[in-house]
Amino acid sequence: MPRYQRRVREVNESVLAVYLSGANTRRIAGALRPLLKAAPLSKSAVSRVVGTLKSELATWEKRSLADLDVAFLYLDAIALRLWMDQRVTSVPALVALAVLADGQKQLVAMEMCGSEPHEAWKGFLDGLVERGLRAPVLCIVDGNAGLRRALSTVWSKTPVQRCAVHKPRNLKRKVPKHALVEVKADFHEITYAESEAEARKAHAAFVSKWKSRCAGVVKSLEEAGDELFTMYRFPRQHWKNIRTTNVIDRLKGEFRRRVKDAELAASEDAALVLLFGLIATGQIKLRKIDGYRKLATVISEQMRRAA
């Protein structure tokens, strides 16, 4: 063993992997005690090993983004339920996840905030710009009004695609229960059409059919405007990936699955460490998108138009 080191690197990596899977420090120490007889692993030792992620997160949060060629940028907030101030509290975390020119997805930034107003999103996007991130070719967002206003200020020329999963959730609140399945099927015709022309035709049919039967659902649909059709201007191979912000929702699902027993959910800082650690250690793998070979062309065309 090297001087001042009691455990090989593989042991520390295993501790992190098990911790991020949802086991707390006491259980990890107890499970490894019989295997590490000559160098028992205490609860505090596990905490120190896990603490290395915090320093890595601090470095990651300050890194330059100037060298990233971003094709698509997913922006969404995920609600994290944390044990804070002697009670369970839902705290939103703003998340930016990029698709790079080689097709690989990369977590770009995360930030906890008290809510999702325009000021929070504006500050979040300004932070990305200050760290050198160039305007993406396309932003994929939910229907948050504060985010949309912030985008119009920071990257006013960047096209936006509204999430085809969040919008049906909004429609659901406006639809009588007996008509829900029918409305969902009609909306599906818009977001899974074969072309923009077919999507607009389906949109017109939706409005014509429901404007007298349920005016609220039509108003909710029209709120999204042309941003429901932006994806049709990109290669067909990309439609599946740019239709929704589901890739960020997956982070929320993985977080919830792991914090049932983990002590890591005790604070906002600990929650960010967990989210970062899940990706940094490979617990969540972000694979390349379909049709990634066309991304270089998409980016070059966007640069030409901007020039």
Digit-coded pLDDT (tens) for 44-85: 666 776 677 788 889 999 999 999 999 999 999 988 777 666
Same domain, 146 and 255: yes
pLDDT in tens, 91-138: 888 999 999 999 999 999 999 887 668 899 999 999 999 999 999 999
> pTM of this prediction?
0.84
Q: What is the pLDDT of residue 253?
A: 79
Same domain, 219 and 72: no
Q: Is 224 within the bounds of a domain?
A: yes
Q: What is the pLDDT of residue 53?
A: 79
Same domain, 142 and 257: yes
Same domain, 79 and 133: yes
Same domain, 133 and 276: yes
Mean of all residue pLDDT scores within the chain: 84
Note down the domain range covering 28. 9-61
Q: What is the pLDDT of residue 242?
A: 95
For the CA atoms of 242, 244, 248, 251, the dihedral, rounded to the nearest 10 degrees, stands at -120
Burial class (CB in 10 A: 0-12, 13-18, 19+), 15: buried
Is 85 in contact with 64 (CB distance < 8 Å)?
A: no
Q: Is 4 within the bounds of a domain?
A: no
Q: Is 176 within the bounds of a domain?
A: yes
Given 227, 243, 259, the domain boundary residue is 243
Same domain, 80 and 153: yes
Same domain, 73 and 151: yes
pLDDT confidence tier of residue 40, bands split at 50, 70 and 90: low
**Number of domains within the chain:** 3
Q: Is 193 within the bounds of a domain?
A: yes
Given 195, 224, 243, the domain boundary residue is 243
